[in-house]
Structure 1
């Protein structure tokens, strides 16, 4: 990873973002039920979607949601999705994406960032812990709620 940078998701990058591959077993952890339910009422103006590029190559996609009036406190400033291409995992693109979301959350005046995920052997928990998230709660669907204090 030599030239990582973040760009807004656009017509030029969406195909590459949708073509990111996962390691075997990771697909079952893509979208927790909590986020699927919330997306029905999500305001597109509050959705922050970016791609991480290494030079000209899209290597990751990240979506966050910022809504100070969200009915669920753990969805007010939340990392909703992070996909890092299978061949790129473990090389810093995921941490770079999380850092970009943290910077955006701070810019918007939030004092914490949350993530909701399903626990499991091949799931994202180890990654989220490595980048600083700490489990603090559980959703009504049994998913883990973790946060970073900003």
Structure 2
């Protein structure tokens, strides 16, 4: 059974609760914080950032950020790129990551996406098994030291 989640716009009312969502300390080298994600989105508008808090019930349990329908170029994978996906430490292992990807894939397919890219920092404890298990495949490319993966949406 897939976990029940909602993707919620980040507002002044929920921003502090969303910023409080943190991965385990041993995962911090693999995924940037929500705070850094907001900074990246602000500093890199050419990446066409689209982000949402992930809620289970009334509680934020995660965060997702994509590049949404951008023109690919140097340093810009896409048109659709999963830029950030994180689940709070105490909410991991409940199927939220898969539920988020299911929701994101449905949304971008509805917008005409044929593929979704992502990347990860290699190392013990990295998210590679999760992404491969979902169906992403290595492209053979490395971008800023990260292994690039692609999910075919056909």
**What TM-score do the two structures reach when normalised by structure 2?**
0.81
Describe the shift of the 1:76–1:3 C-alpha distance in structure 2 as closer, same or farther (beyond 3 A).
closer
Aligned residue pairs total 146
- Name the residue aligned to 2:68: 66
Describe the shift of the 1:24–1:112 C-alpha distance in structure 2 as closer, same or farther (beyond 3 A).
same
- Name the residue aligned to 2:86: 83
- Name the residue aligned to 1:49: 51
Show structure 1 runs of 5+ residues with no match. none
Describe the shift of the 1:93–1:37 C-alpha distance in structure 2 as closer, same or farther (beyond 3 A).
closer
Give distance in 1, aligned partners of 2:81 and 2:15: 21
Show structure 2 runs of 5+ residues with no match. none
Q: What is the root-mean-square deviation of aligned Cα atoms in Å? A: 2.6
Alignment of 1:105-144 (within 5 A): 105-144=108-147
**What TM-score do the two structures reach when normalised by structure 1?**
0.83
- 1:61 deviates by 0.4
Q: Is the 8 A contact 1:2 1:55 kept in 2?
A: no
Partner SS, residue 53 of structure 1: strand
